[in-house]
Amino acid sequence: MKIEEWLNLFQERVILADGAMGTMLYNKGIYLNLCFDEVNLTNPDLVRSIHREYIQAGAEIIETNTFGANRFKLKKYGLEDKVREINLAGVAIARQEAGSKVWVAGSIGPLGVKIEPWGSTSIEEAEEAFREQAAALLAGGVDLFILETFSDINEIHQAIKAIQKEAPEVLIIAQMTIEEDGNSLYGTTPEVFTRKLEEWGAHIIGVNCSVGPAAMLQCIERMARVTAKPLSAMPNAGIPRNVEGRNIYLCSPDYLAEYARRFILNGVRLLGGCCGTTPAHIRAIRGAIRSLQPAHRPIIFIKEEVEEAKETMPKPMAEKSALGQKLSEGKFVVSVEIVPPRGCDPTSALEIARQLKDKGVDCVNIPDGPRASARMSSMALAFLIQAQAGLEVILHYTCRDRNLLGIQSDLLGIHAHGIRNLLLITGDPPKLGDYPDATAVFDVDSIGLTKVVNSLNRGLDIGRRRLPQPTSFLIGVGVNPGAINIDYEMSRFHWKVEAGAEFAITQPVFDIQLLENFLRRAEPYKLPIIAGVWPLASLRNAEFMHNEVPGARVPEEIMGRMRRAQEVSPERAREEGIAIAQEIVSQIKNLVQGIQISPPLGRYEAALQVLEAL
């Protein structure tokens, strides 16, 4: 059917889609740790029976069992080479049950990976993955496409583009998923994502999953004011409750039917269900549809809410912080690392910071949970040092422990406390640290995190909404001159610069040649480089750095010096480690824009001795 015919049909009456596929598969014995999409190949009769139940309940559109059948999600199950086979099978099963009286929609969900600007997967890779799936669904003979459960408008944009290239004459239903407040999981408001989806060419715009009918209705009411496009709504059967270890959805079919009437009165033309809904729910919604005729709804455009948020130019480096001013003027800077204490008493760290300030150190560098250990919050210590010791801070900020919303909240709070210098890093996985059973988040990596901060500096939050005022962070990133795969490291460095990095701090430098090679390759980026310096404390410390710290290669010559010194005494080894660090500083001080000294084992007197080489 042509797109114009579809749109005319949706103007004439409400269309009923099916309900949850995953819920039904689970209820019929398919465990959650299995690939639901693969069931198209391993047990097609089961999928066919679910389609049949929904058709008998009154569904006029059934969705293929292909929500996660893209190369990225299938790779987790070792099935990335079966994208086409699984999608073709999904269409064939649905088509067999649909016959000529029911339409088959090709279901496409998110890729299951973060794409730029929040992740390392490029928009080109994302679009190609969506094209691959769409092409297979189209080859199988779908009547239309349903994009569903997207939280990132940038990702659903790539899916829309992919379908438009593969099937420009096929109807696209584009559905976002929302939180209880009506905004997407990335914070994008219904007014914004509705207008964006319309602008990008979606024919029907809607919401599905994550919330029950009450919250979804409030979202639909907001969407209905800013678009004349037909709307779709596919709510969950409420918020799941854990009952004896199982997630149970408590919304009854009658309750969902009552809300179906309210959806229709607010302009919804496509109704269905998501997680927790069953053929019983769809049957009840069918009754609600029959009881109502499509209601006319006024279109009220709210200009101030839907205007494209405009970026502001971020402040230049020199205006962001004292460190930024020194780096922009080409002055040599010195930072010393202060590791947060294991307890709740900051007294020692504050005293160290005061001593470093008296010795002329420009700033202190505070790591965030180094080696995945549990310590005082680096943010809390940063606030205390700047407020009570009067010394500027470079705050490490990692992606490991926070989701995107938590990251944004942290960053705005950090800025409110006067912290301006950030070192953005991915962070050590928990398995490396004291608590290997702790879970990590890693919503983004350091590249995505750099883009988040750069966006805040330009006055936009992660949902692309305008902030009352932009932040003014000085963005630092980590680099590893001794990386085993230096080409890969340079490609990541390139993307960090593209994302908005303004300076970089290296891993500890022991091999001058590796640093020189890196600096030659990094020279076109014109980014200030601060070199890491580590005064070795012992032979064992040297062996640890060489063998267990990625990229911290300790040349055999230095190993030999530490070995001979260790044979004399531990004190002699510490003295030799400081001497080696002083020599390194003397050799590199004209190559880089500063140094960061990381005193081993909390021996800050070693850092002060290293500074004598300047």
Domain end, chosen from 306, 323, 347, is at 306
**Which pLDDT does position 220 carry in this prediction?**
95
Q: Is residue 230 in some structural domain?
A: yes
The pLDDT tens digits for 524-533 are 999 999 999 9
**Which pLDDT does position 548 carry in this prediction?**
77
Mean pLDDT of all residues in 476-482: 93
Mean pLDDT of all residues in 104-110: 98
Per the CB < 8 A criterion, the answer to whether 122 and 72 are in contact is no
Kindly state whether residues 203 and 344 are assigned to the same domain. no
pLDDT over 60 at 298, yes or no: no
Kindly state whether residues 484 and 560 are assigned to the same domain. yes
Kindly state whether residues 301 and 355 are assigned to the same domain. no
Mean pLDDT of all residues in 178-205: 93
Kindly state whether residues 291 and 156 are assigned to the same domain. yes
Q: Is residue 326 in some structural domain?
A: no
Per the CB < 8 A criterion, the answer to whether 391 and 361 are in contact is yes
Domain CATH code at residue 417: 3.20.20.220
Q: Is residue 319 in some structural domain?
A: no
**Which pLDDT does position 352 carry in this prediction?**
93
pLDDT over 70 at 581, yes or no: yes
**Which pLDDT does position 396 carry in this prediction?**
93
Range with the largest mean pLDDT of 113-127, 164-178, 368-382:
164-178
pLDDT over 90 at 173, yes or no: yes
In terms of pLDDT, which residue wins out, 114 or 56? 56
Residue 431 binned pLDDT confidence (cut-offs 50, 70, 90) = very low
Question: Does the predicted model carry a pTM greater than 0.85?
Answer: no
Angle of helix 153-166 versus helix 123-140 axis, rounded to 10: 50
Kindly state whether residues 534 and 450 are assigned to the same domain. yes
Closest CA to 108 of 58, 33, 166: 166
Cα–Cα–Cα angle for 146, 150, 153, rounded to 5 degrees: 110
Domain CATH code at residue 157: 3.20.20.330
Q: Is residue 515 in some structural domain?
A: yes
Closest CA to 414 of 389, 394, 391, 443: 394
Kindly state whether residues 356 and 255 are assigned to the same domain. no
Kindly state whether residues 285 and 382 are assigned to the same domain. no
Kindly state whether residues 301 and 342 are assigned to the same domain. no
In terms of pLDDT, which residue wins out, 432 or 383? 383
Residue 243 binned pLDDT confidence (cut-offs 50, 70, 90) = very low
The pLDDT tens digits for 567-579 are 999 999 999 999 9
- 2, with CB counted inside 10 A (0-12, 13-18, 19+), is exposed
Closest CA to 282 of 234, 212, 215, 247: 234
The pLDDT tens digits for 310-369 are 778 899 999 999 999 999 999 999 999 999 998 899 999 999 999 999 999 999 999 986
Cα–Cα–Cα angle for 393, 398, 401, rounded to 5 degrees: 130
Q: Is residue 497 in some structural domain?
A: yes
Q: Is residue 556 in some structural domain?
A: yes
Residue 91 binned pLDDT confidence (cut-offs 50, 70, 90) = very high
Kindly state whether residues 291 and 379 are assigned to the same domain. no
Distance of alpha carbon 33 from the chain centroid = 23
Count of the separate structural domains present in the chain:
2
- In whole angstroms, give the CA distance from residue 83 to residue 106: 14
Kindly state whether residues 352 and 252 are assigned to the same domain. no
Q: Is residue 313 in some structural domain?
A: no
Per the CB < 8 A criterion, the answer to whether 538 and 566 are in contact is yes
- In whole angstroms, give the CA distance from residue 84 to residue 159: 17
Cα–Cα–Cα angle for 292, 297, 299, rounded to 5 degrees: 160
Kindly state whether residues 390 and 500 are assigned to the same domain. yes
Per the CB < 8 A criterion, the answer to whether 326 and 353 are in contact is no
- Domain hosting residue 591, numbered range: 331-613
Torsion sign across C-alpha atoms 560, 565, 570, 576: negative
Q: Is residue 413 in some structural domain?
A: yes
Kindly state whether residues 289 and 416 are assigned to the same domain. no
Mean pLDDT of all residues in 215-222: 94
**Which pLDDT does position 432 carry in this prediction?**
42
The pLDDT tens digits for 27-37 are 888 887 889 99
**Which pLDDT does position 464 carry in this prediction?**
73
Q: Taking the CB of residue 513, how many other CB atoms lie within 10 A of it? A: 9
**Which pLDDT does position 318 carry in this prediction?**
95
**Which pLDDT does position 602 carry in this prediction?**
77
- 373, with CB counted inside 10 A (0-12, 13-18, 19+), is middle
CA atoms within 13 A of residue 585's CA, in its CB half-sphere? 26
**Which of 28-37, 193-202, 391-400, 435-444 shows the lowest per-residue confidence on average (mean pLDDT)?**
435-444
Residue 192, C-beta contacts closer than 8 angstroms, at least 6 positions apart: 153, 305, 306, 309, 463, 464, 465
Domain end, chosen from 255, 289, 306, is at 306
